[in-house]
Structure 1
Amino acid sequence: MGPINNSNHDLNTTSFLNLPPELRLKIYEYALTVPNDYIDKPLIVINDRGNVFTVRNRYKALSMCPSWVGEDGTARNILAVYHQIHDEAENYLYSHHTLFFRNSFDLVRLGDFLDTLSPTARGCIRSVGFEVYLFVHTQMGVPKRTLKQYERAARLLSVKLPEWNNVLFYLDPRFYYPAAAAGCREPAARGVLDLAAKFGPLCRDITFYPLSTSDYRLLWEAQ
């Protein structure tokens, strides 16, 4: 989709671009904020409904399946206007948001998904997050990720995202502290250590949320 060419659009675009850059950034911040159910931090929450990837185009990342959960079309509209606005909004979006993958996202498809992002977007992303279920074998229909998949994901991120330096793991409390029938807490703690060990050599910062105070020793051990 290209820019809309009419006199009113040109006038509105010119007026917007005449605003000070810092004010335009505040407008992007407001327009691109999508509430999430995880943490008080701007996330692009990616959900995978299992469909094939769509034909790629300039605005492919936010209009395809997998899709941005909760996005009402505002981001796509901003990215589909005058190229300077597109470039500024794209830079702001991907440099200030964590690209966050729900547990439903198939990590086998991670490389294909990252390839649908523009080179500019991939060059802006600094933070990537994952919803983590460490115990799922008693839950019917809940996909189980393996540590091997996370290890491959870490390598892919280091190759495809040159500015990536932070990984955020959201430990779903239903599966991080499993019921007695699913095991004990020690294996869950071991899972935290394994994730830290897999990602630690490849990025600067690792955040687990929420993480029990008693488990912080696992990060020290991994370091």
Structure 2
Amino acid sequence: MVTLYRPGDGPWHRLRPGRKTALLLLLVLGICLLPATWWAAGVMAGVCLACYAIPGAGMRELGRQLVATRWMVGVTLIGQLIFLGPESAAANTTRVAVACALAALLALTTPATELLETFERAMGPLTWLRLDPRRVALTLALTLSTLPVLANLARDVREAQRARGGGRSLRHFAMPFLVMALKHADELGDALTARGVR
């Protein structure tokens, strides 16, 4: 499984995976409950900066995560500006960017195996609903790993376009990106099937 994990010994790395997941989940829920105002956008950005300012994460890593999600953030901002005012668009776009950055912080400071075990333990009560906690945990872990994979694929397509002297046409970007994303999905499906996951 592709992972964002970066080894380290900072406070985020030392925090137990279950507590770290709960803390970051509460922060994301908190920013989701804030109103769509300028001051709320500032609070959200401040929370994100404070989380990455803790040793072991760093502003450089935050910058990498924001660059990786720039297309999603850009599309969100444009859509919000079309249907809502600038204040709501700024707040909602900040909300999306901060939520992605906090999810990435969890993946950056927790090994994939520990993350999977944490999700599996948390999903234990789902057995009452006749759901398999291991499958749900695997789905969540794969979801967390999808964003960096897609970001890397987008970067590869852009670099190939530049190497061939291509422009920045969205049409010329979308088709190869879609083909590579579907190929990755097929390979991931084959790998899961080979391991007995259906």
Is this a same-fold pair by TM over 0.5? no
Higher RCO (C-alpha 8 Å, min separation 6): 2
State the TM-score, normalized to the length of structure 2.
Answer: 0.28
If each structure's helix is expressed as a fraction of its own residues, which one has the higher value? 2
TM-score (ref. length: structure 1): 0.26
More strand by share: 1
Q: Which structure has the greater CA radius of gyration?
A: 1
